[in-house]
Amino acid sequence: MAGYVGWGRVEAYRLASDIEAIAARGEPVDLSSLDAPLPTPQHVEAARLYAEAAARAREIAQQDFRMTRFDVDAVVGHVDVVDAEATYKPDAPVLQLLDRATPLPFAGFGDTVDGLDRVNVAGLQALSALSALRADLLAYRGQGDAAVPALIAAIGVQRTVADVFSRAVLGARQLGSLRILLRHASPSAASLEALQRAFAGLPDEDGLDRDLMLRRARLIEQQSDALSPGGLPAATAFFLQPFVTRMVRVQIGQFREVVAAARQPWPDKYATLATLAANSAPRSNRTMIRSALAGDAPNLAALSAAPVQAGLSLAVRRVAVTALAIERYRRAHGAAPASLDELVPAFLPAVPIDPFSGHALVYTTTPGAYRVYSVDANRNDDGGTVYGTGSMNPMPMPKPRDFGINVPLTARAVSR
C-alpha cells in the first residue's frame, strides 16, 4: 500500500513538473487568455453583436436545416430559389446584427460571454452560412455588387472561430459562394477588389500549433476533475488516481512532438503529422491502461490534429485571392492571364503557394473558363477535378480530387 501511494505521489510530482516546463516555454497551461478583457468599447460591441447573432442563427438552423445546405446550382427550375428568397430575407434581424459587427475590430469574445465555449461554434457556423446564402441568392439574380458585402460579412465570421476544423468548414462554404458569384454575376471592379481584400485579410497561417496547445491547456485544466467526472466514491478515486495521473501525463507529453510537427513549414508538416497519426494506432494486444503504463499509448494528440483542415483553410484563402486577381486582370485586359506570374505585382504581391504541394497553385485555361486549384490532401494533380457544386461540398469527397474553383468567362444567365 505504501508503494502504491508513493507511486501516485511520484506521478503527481512528474505531472506538475511537466506542466511547469510547458509554462516555462511560454506555452499556455490554461484557457485564461481567452477571457482577457477586450481592448476597446468597439471590440466589446463586436463580441456582443456576434454572440447575439450566432445565438439567433443557431435557433434558425435548428428549425430549418436547409439554411446550411441550400445550393442554388443544384435545384430543378427556380421554385426552390423563389422559396428561399421568400424565407431568407436579406434584411433579417440576425443579418442586421451581423452587418453591424462586420466593420468593427474583433479580438475575441473575452469575458463578455459566459460559458466554457464562449459562443457555440454551431451558431457561428450557422451565422456564416446564413450570410453566405444571402450572397448566393443575390448573385444568382445577377446582383453582384449587392452580393459582395454579404459575402464579406460571411468571411468576417471566420475571425470569431478559433479551431482549425471549423475555419475549414466556413472557408469551404465561402469559396462555394465565390463560385456562385462569379458564375452568375458580374460585380464591378471596385467590388471585386474589396472582396479580394476581405479574403486576403484572413490569416495566411494555419494556426494549427496554437489549436493543439489550447487543446493541451484544456486537458491540463480538466485533469484535476478526471477522477470524478460523475462523482466517484472517494475509495474508487483513490484507487484510480495513479493510473489516471499517469495517463494524463502521457497524453500531455504526446503534444510536444505534435506541436513541433505543426510548426514545420508546409507541406512538410502535413507529411509529418500524417506519419505520426498513422503510427499511433493502438496495439491490438494492449489495453489503454497497459499501454499507458508501458509508455506507448496511442498518440491522441496526433490523431486529433487536423492537418487536412488546416491546409484547406489556407487553400481557401489563396485560391479565392488568386481567382479574384485573375478576374480583375481579365476585366482590365480583356482576357485571362497566360500565367499567374502576370498577376504580380499589380494584382497579387506574389504567386500563392499550394500548401499541399509546396508549389504554385495550379492555373489552367480553356476557351470558355479558367480554373485555379490546390492539389488537395491526396497531393496529386488530378487535372482540376474540382469537387463541390455551388456552396456545398458532397460527402464523402471523391478520391481523385482537387480543391479550387472553375470560373466561366461568361456569367450564367438565369430567369428573373
233 in any annotated domain: no
In the prediction, which pLDDT does 194 show? 98
103 in any annotated domain: yes
In the prediction, which pLDDT does 200 show? 97
d(CA 184, CA 413): 6
Mean pLDDT score, 192-196: 98
* Percent of the chain residues topping a pLDDT of 90: 60
**Domain residue limits at 139:** 32-162
Mean pLDDT score, 138-167: 94
38 in any annotated domain: yes
Cell of 44: 466589446
137 in any annotated domain: yes
Give the pLDDT band (50/70/90) at residue 147.
very high
In tens, the pLDDT along 330-369 reads 999 999 999 999 999 999 999 999 999 999 999 999 989 9
In the prediction, which pLDDT does 20 show? 94
d(CA 89, CA 275): 47
In tens, the pLDDT along 234-267 reads 555 566 777 778 888 888 999 999 999 999 999 9
Look at residue 26 and tell me whether its pLDDT is greater than 90: yes
Strand 362-366's sheet: what is its strand order? 362-366, 369-374, 403-408
Mean pLDDT score, 17-45: 89
Look at residue 43 and tell me whether its pLDDT is greater than 60: yes
Amino acid at 181: L
The pLDDT mean for the chain works out to 86
183 in any annotated domain: no
In the prediction, which pLDDT does 234 show? 56
Look at residue 118 and tell me whether its pLDDT is greater than 80: no
In the prediction, which pLDDT does 415 show? 47
The answer for residues whose C-beta is within 8 angstroms of residue 15's C-beta and 6 or more apart is 223, 245, 248, 249, 252
In the prediction, which pLDDT does 238 show? 62
Give the pLDDT band (50/70/90) at residue 116.
very low
180 in any annotated domain: no
Mean pLDDT score, 120-135: 92
In the prediction, which pLDDT does 280 show? 76
Give the pLDDT band (50/70/90) at residue 294.
low
Give the pLDDT band (50/70/90) at residue 49.
very high
In the prediction, which pLDDT does 389 show? 63
In the prediction, which pLDDT does 414 show? 54
Give the pLDDT band (50/70/90) at residue 376.
very high
In the prediction, which pLDDT does 241 show? 75
* Percent of the chain residues topping a pLDDT of 70: 84
In the prediction, which pLDDT does 113 show? 59
User: Phi and psi dihedrals of 165, rounded to 5?
Assistant: -60, -45
pTM for the model stands at 0.88
d(CA 134, CA 148): 10
Please give the helix or strand (H or E) that residue 362 lies within, else none: strand 362-366
395 in any annotated domain: no
Quick check: 356 and 377 in contact, CB under 8 A?
Answer: yes
Overall domain count for the chain: 1
Which of 8-22, 188-202, 271-285 comes out lowest in average pLDDT? 271-285
The answer for residues whose C-beta is within 8 angstroms of residue 258's C-beta and 6 or more apart is 212, 273, 276, 299, 301, 302, 305
Look at residue 198 and tell me whether its pLDDT is greater than 70: yes
146 in any annotated domain: yes
CA atoms within 13 A on the CB side of 71: 17
